[in-house]
Amino acid sequence: MYEVIAMTESKSAREHDFDQPRSDVVFSLRDGFVWASWPGAIASVRLGSQKSVTAVMLDFLAQCDLGDRLTNASDVTKRSAG
């Protein structure tokens, strides 16, 4: 499981205290674009506009939720049948 820490222009990924245990990925919003960086990395990756990345992230979260619900429903069915 990944912890997501959203960062804004006021605190960039480079200003983040990476000595503390945090997430595997850091998202930053700069000039309307979402960037991803990782602790210890010197570069960031531009993911796209805030609008497009938000849409993709929401879709991803919905798919994760559906997968969890289907997995849990399958587990319940197996327990009630056994």
Residue 79: the pLDDT is: 72
pLDDT tens figures, 34-59: 999 998 889 999 999 999 999 999 99
Pairwise CA distance, residues 14 & 35, whole Å: 12
Pairwise CA distance, residues 5 & 10, whole Å: 14
Instruction: Give the closest residue to 41 by CA, choosing from 12, 4, 6.
Output: 12
pLDDT tens figures, 70-81: 998 877 677 776
The pTM of this model reads 0.59
Which residues are CB-contacts of 82 (< 8 A; sequence separation ≥ 6)? none
Pairwise CA distance, residues 58 & 37, whole Å: 20
Domain ranges across the chain: 4-81
Residue 73: the pLDDT is: 84
